[in-house]
Amino acid sequence: MLLTDEVLLNYQRCPRRPFLDIYQDTTLQDPEQEFLLKLRRESQVHIAATLAGQNYKQLDSSARDWQARAKETELLMQQGVECIYRGMLLIFGSQQAELPTPTPTNELTLVSTPTLLVKQPGASNFGNWMYEPVNIKLGQRAKPEYRIVAAFQAQILAAVQGVWSQTSRLILRQRNSYAVNLDNWVPRMQAVLEECVQMHFSRAEPEVFISRQRCSLCHWHSYCYEIAQSQQHLSLIPGVTPTRYKHLQELGLTTVESLAHASLDSLGDTIGFETAFRLRQQAQSVLENRAILKSASFNYPTIPTADVEFYFDIEAEPERDLNYLLGILVVNRPTKTEQFYPFMAENPEEEKRIWQDFFELVLLYPDAPIFHFSDYELETIKRLAKQYEIPPIQLDSVLSRLVDLHKRVTTSVTLPVENYSLKSLAKWLGFKWRDSEGSGAQSVCWYDQWLKTGDRALLEAISRYNEDDCRATYCLKDWLVGFLPDAQ
């Protein structure tokens, strides 16, 4: 059995993914997403920028012969090369007692590919020097799965060079260096590694569990989602986390119907009464396919209705720290007209201009509420106002008119949806986006392609998607205004 650090990384994010990668028909995988390819390109740019000016020896990462590549890496270590880029470390499980014991019929081979192997003072099998593994990651923080992999690489390196490195390092997005405490993370890594090995040796397929954040970019998403839907799996109920799911299983609550009719007393004793009430009501909403008021006695915030209303949505590129489209749908109820304004930055330098155009428009209608769907619009307005020096009195007049519909929905009503994203809510209301492939991630890819190709059709696609987001927000607002008084 071959177990790599990539397998270990994927196992921590979802135990099913490495299992399916090995044992399932690969033709059932989703096509690779454009946004994922973009992230990989950005990762390579980040690595190149980090290595700029450094002296290193690079190995061919496309080489198919892993053993030959591992031997070449070890030869460079024996020569005392200062820095090795794309090296490979390979050992068999039987080479070290601390690693999981392979079964008699399966030889366990462990492969590690740290971004760098950096020479350090010390004594090893190679002489009066040793090596330290370094991973260059695009992430902004040292995630637990990064640290587990760093510990895995350190242990394999220790088996190769005969001594443990003092640490294993991560270099993150801002090129800040993070030292992984191996005393803390090696035991955790070994526990995860043992679980992963046992899963593969037993060939026991892990249960499906749909997580919106972790599953969205996985090439097995459609395959697993279809299984979850056919089972009416509880992971499709908003609020059911992996930990809560285990508690529900222990109580024998494994279906939407059983959760909808669960006793609040027993459920509340396990996960807390407030959480129990929310989960049961969510299951009831899904089971009955209807909206349910969260509490008849709750004093809900007023949702304003005015002659002129704004519906606001932003398209942003985090890698460039750029807001490239500020979209506003202006709804004039007396004249029964709707006008969409796409303030588009055709290059990053135009962000200031589109911000000024946006601000001039919203100041034309000082009484118009500005509806949006998330905290991002609020925080972005604050940041851009500071960056481009908007007078505080003008900023306050705009901030006071912002109405976050996501917050209004989630505090007032339970809906039969799988998550409370704008897409899920608006689709339940019957709203349709004109571009089926449109998404925030796809918008970023379209903009990236626009900067490279100058194809204006890409800008039109971004504008169309943003307008649909604004119109979906409008649709949600009108429904919510109509539902709350009736429900109360």
**CATH code, 460:** 3.30.420.10
**pLDDT per residue over 35-94, tens digit each?**
999 989 989 999 999 999 889 999 887 767 888 999 999 999 999 999 999 999 999 865
Same-domain check for residues 239 and 193: no
> pTM for this structure?
0.86
**50 domain-assigned:** yes
Q: What is the structure's pLDDT at 97?
A: 47
Could you say which of 159, 186, 202 is where a domain stops? Answer: 202
Same-domain check for residues 313 and 447: yes
Alpha carbon distance 24, 1 (integer Å): 16
Same-domain check for residues 6 and 151: yes
Q: What is the structure's pLDDT at 105?
A: 42
Read off the amino acid at residue 243.
T
Q: Would the CA dihedral through 276, 282, 288, 294 be positive or negative?
A: positive
Same-domain check for residues 420 and 283: no
Q: What is the structure's pLDDT at 92?
A: 84
Alpha carbon distance 118, 165 (integer Å): 10
Tokens of 227: 């299984």
Alpha carbon distance 305, 326 (integer Å): 22
Question: Residue 284 maps to which CATH number?
Answer: 1.10.150.20
**122 domain-assigned:** yes
Give 276-320 as a DSSP string: HHHHHHHHHHHHHTS-EES-TT--PPP----SEEEEEEEEEEGGG
- Using the CB atoms, write b or e for 119-137: b if 16+ within 10 Å: beebebebeebbbbbbbbb
**344 domain-assigned:** yes
Same-domain check for residues 55 and 157: yes
Alpha carbon distance 1, 277 (integer Å): 46
Same-domain check for residues 240 and 313: no
Residue 450, judged by CB atoms within 10 A of its CB (0-12, 13-18, 19+), counts as: buried
Same-domain check for residues 276 and 320: no
Q: What are phi and psi of 168, to 5 degrees?
A: -130, 130
- Give the range of the structural domain holding residue 463, as residue numbers without chain letter: 308-487
Q: What is the structure's pLDDT at 176?
A: 83
Same-domain check for residues 35 and 184: yes
Q: What is the structure's pLDDT at 352?
A: 95
User: Nearest to residue 391, comparing CAs of 365, 357, 349, 356?
Assistant: 356
Look at the chain and report how many structural domains it folds into. 3
In tens digits, the chain (488 residues) has pLDDT values of: 789 999 999 999 999 999 999 999 999 999 999 999 998 998 999 999 999 988 999 988 776 788 899 999 999 999 999 999 999 999 986 555 455 555 444 578 999 999 999 999 999 999 999 999 999 998 889 999 999 999 999 999 999 999 999 999 999 987 789 999 999 999 999 999 999 999 988 888 999 999 877 898 899 999 999 999 999 999 999 999 999 999 999 999 999 999 999 999 989 999 999 999 999 999 999 999 999 998 755 666 779 999 999 999 999 998 788 999 999 999 999 999 999 999 999 999 999 999 999 999 999 999 999 999 999 999 999 999 999 999 999 999 999 999 999 999 999 999 999 999 999 999 999 999 999 889 999 999 999 999 999 999 999 999 999 999 999 999 999 999 999 876 44
**226 domain-assigned:** no
Question: Residue 14 maps to which CATH number?
Answer: 3.90.320
Element (H, E) at 392: helix 392-399
Alpha carbon distance 470, 340 (integer Å): 9
